[in-house]
Chain A
Amino acid sequence: MRRWPRLKALIIKELLAVWRDKKSRITLIAPPLIQLIILSHAATLDVNNISLGVYNQDKGWYSHELIQRIKGSPYFKHVYEFGSFQEAKKAIDLQNVIVSVQFQPNFSRLITRGQPASLQMILDGRKPNASQIVTGYLSSIVETFNTDILTQKGVELPVPLGIESRAFFNPNLEYILYNVPCLVAILSMLLALTLTAMSVSRERENGTFDQLLVSPLQPWEILVGKLIPAMVIGIGESTVLMFITLYLFKIPFSGSFFLLYFSMIVFLLSMVGVGLFISSLSHTQQQSILGSFVFMTPTMLLSGYATPIENMPSWLQPFTQLLPISHFFIIIKGLFLKNMPAGDVLMHTWPMALIALFTLSLAGWMFKRRIE
């Protein structure tokens, strides 16, 4: 059986080729690590460090008290006082503040009289998400303020319907606990894709692919020879990312590592299949890069990473099931945050396995066809 030495030669060659090429060596190591470290902090939907402005025409005790409470809350970093509406408007225009809270001249007087008073919030609509969250923070401050005044005035309230919200799996709703596992998945995907998408087209540009095709290697052997090194590098790199996640970010991992690696292998196989398919289609490395972009952009937007899949139009939602990463997101988040049981992991692994089978056979078929 002469098959194994041939495959071994291919695998060693492939690993050496990646390692010897200085550029590919650097792109392999540096960007994923840097991205993990920077993006884990940058790509957050938590709203902190908010600047807020106050235009107070009232000057009474009640408005003063409310402003003190806003200043005292941990969310608002700077609280500016405006002398006129124009000033408030300008500050929002220049994005110095995200919200301006305005008190009418008779705010304190109305409250003293026991009449309903209102305050106005002017929000920056250019930042809808942050504005919504700020509204939430302010509303809760105002609500406590209301209750306190009424109690102070001796108004007997009916026992209020208290909502005690508690978040399971991520009790403090810390975004980083959700974000970093997702980044591990994204970076592993990127790596598997770039490793394979260029590998064949690079050989085509160098003329070495013809050299492979005239050797007794069969198309499927060439395919396996490209697949195994990519998997080895991909799993290795993912392990490094996991280490950083667990020991640098100290993100708790509550699931089973066996299930994580099992599903990761299936996930990477499906991405390697996509990469090899793109590679077998392209004649030049430039085409490979374009092909990867064509795949990456919709994948990222539809994956459920940036926006919840549930918010997408119902006709579009089934298509997200075709993206391996949307399944892997569920698995990796599940394993990190809530010790996802094996059954659930398998439920999301078999679609990825199907996709892997499909993309790999497609790549194999293209390989064979390319020779003809």
Chain B
Amino acid sequence: MERPALDRINATIRKGIITGLVGPDGAGKTTLIRLMTGLLLPTSGQIKVMGLSTHSSQIHDITGYMPQKFGLYEDLSVLENLDLYADLNGLSVAEKKDAFKRMLAFTSLKPFINRLAGNLSGGMKQKLGLACALLSRPQVLLLDEPTVGVDPLSRRELWTMVQDLTHKGMTVIWSTSYLDEADKCHEVLLLNEGKLLFNGPPEDLTKRMKNRVFQVEVPLKNRRKVLTKLLNLPYVIDGVIQGNKLRLVTSSSLKNSLRHRVPPRFEDAFIDILGGISKGDSILAENFPLKKQTSSSLIKAENLTKRFGNFTAAQDISFTIKRGEIFGLLGPNGAGKSTIFKMLCGLLQPTLGEALISGVNLKTAPAKARSHIGYMAQKFSLYGDLSVEENLNFFSGSYGLQGPYRTKMIDLMVTIFDLHPYLNSNANLLPLGYKQRLALACAVMHEPDVLFLDEPTSGVDPLTRREFWTHINGMVEKGVTIMVTTHFLEEAEYCDRIALIYQGINIATGTPDDLKNMVKTRKMPNPTLEDSFIALIEKQGVQ
């Protein structure tokens, strides 16, 4: 099972451009970056940066490195952090003054210089991290997943900032698991499981997908069923829901198709290289009992308000979610969407208002309300030191499953998710895709009415993500209700309805297409969900 983190990579990265290191978690991106900074040395082979061997200590003078979790001191202010990194880089007092002025203007962090780094939003933290990494004026800037957990608005700002740097001649290496970011890089190294799949400009790869990507319009009500049917056609290798349309990728070009052709994306090519997504309906959903149709709401938020001291994290939030609906909570970092999410699944008590699950109040009957809930968090949050089987035993037990029924459900999960070969291995040693499967298995074993998903597929490869959504779509058809938060707007397209949260307030609710229509202008006739997200928030900010 042992495979090298990186397997015989040969590549050249050009000066003065942004090169993307693209691939899912566990592909070897961080290892490659650490090799380039000299923090790791290769087991075999060699690597040179600006002509210098990475054994040399001079390497640190020419590189600026921003790790995934940049070492910001959360209890120091923005200015103190900058000061510390300037001293560590040996900047003189005069140089410091000049550099701070540049960096604060560049990152627009000037109004926040006295705020503690720990109190900054995810996007601002990344900007500060970037500023600290730039203090030494590096020739090569290495950014390891700078946009993880950063909302689309801040992500766009970070891109503009970095593109600005390359105009001044800096070489930038940007690693990411968001495949849509690959299209923004000049050149790309596509990694998967330690192997280099592609090296070159992204257009060269997407070229092969020409005339192979289509959009079909379907009735909103049936789109999940139609998608499942289409995916089972032999020549369809990928398909996703985009509002009231389906986006399909075929295994070869269909020239005389009447369907609406759309430009290919990098992700399409990646999936093509990997051989297309796995076929078939969700066995999980097939085995799921059909939830009784009721007209009553499954999730109900009534004037939910949460205050932390003087700070109002969520203000007067109300909505109802019907059975079999996928409801998305979107919003920038720190907007309050996780506060609302937590109040709805019982992790936080609201200051005012009520949250009801299947008509049961979370406050007065928490245990009863929670027995209807399944929960899956962004971070892998199962017991890593326990084996797969022990995790399944624990979670089935903690939901009160017992006797032959418990054994039956565990066996079913093992079969559906193909966990048999891993039953006795520790959960944290599983490949990422299997971790994802185990987490979903643990969340649905008790056949919940409502499933809470907190950034469920961040960092996983597109095949695993498709498989995950096949299960979710199937379960929704059986009447399970889904509540999801995500920064990944591709994922938000699967939602029936979306609530956009900004500064603790619900600023827009509607289907993905509703949100897009809200911002449609002559200049932007065909906005994406990301465009609409940004426009709606900017509009709110102006008010």
Contacts and interface: CB of A to CB of B under 8 A. Distances in A.
B383 A215 contact: no
A36 to B, nearest CB: 27
Interface string B366-406: 11101101010101111111100010011111111110001
B507 interface: no
A211 B375 contact: yes
B381 A214 contact: no
A133 interface: no
A215 B370 contact: yes
Interface stretch (A3-11, A69-77, A309-317): A3-11
Interface of A: 2-3, 5-6, 8-10, 12-13, 16-17, 20-21, 206-208, 210-218, 371-372
A2 B368 CA distance: 12
B432 to A, nearest CB: 16
A212 to B, nearest CB: 7
A241 B373 CA distance: 45
Interface of B: 345-349, 366-368, 370-371, 373, 375, 377, 379-386, 390, 393-402, 406, 426, 452
23 contacts: A2-B402, A5-B401, A8-B397, A9-B395, A9-B396, A10-B397, A12-B393, A12-B397, A13-B383, A13-B386, A16-B385, A206-B383, A206-B384, A210-B375, A210-B381, A211-B375, A211-B381, A213-B347, A214-B452, A215-B395, A216-B370, A217-B367, A217-B398
B407 to A, nearest CB: 12
Contacts of A16: 383, 385-386, 390
B394 A214 contact: no
A20 B425 CA distance: 12
Contacts of A210: 347, 375, 377, 381
A285 to B, nearest CB: 14
B272 to A, nearest CB: 34
B362 to A, nearest CB: 10
B364 to A, nearest CB: 13
Given A210-B377, A372-B349, A12 B368 contact: no
A10 B370 CA distance: 17
| Residue of A21, A210, A215, A217 with most partner-chain B CB within 10 A | A215
A17 B385 contact: yes
A238 to B, nearest CB: 25
Contact of B385 (A3, A21, A211): A21
Contact of A20 (B377, B386, B396, B399): B386
Contacts of A12: 390, 393-394, 397
8 smallest CB-CB distances across A and B, nearest first, come from A9-B397, A207-B381, A2-B400, A372-B349, A20-B385, A216-B371, A214-B375, A13-B394
Contact of B346 (A17, A211, A214): A214
Contacts of A10: 394, 397-398
A213 B345 CA distance: 9
Given A210-B347, A216-B370, 18 more contacts: A2-B402, A3-B400, A5-B397, A8-B397, A13-B390, A16-B383, A20-B385, A206-B384, A207-B379, A207-B380, A210-B381, A211-B375, A211-B381, A212-B398, A214-B347, A214-B370, A214-B373, A215-B398
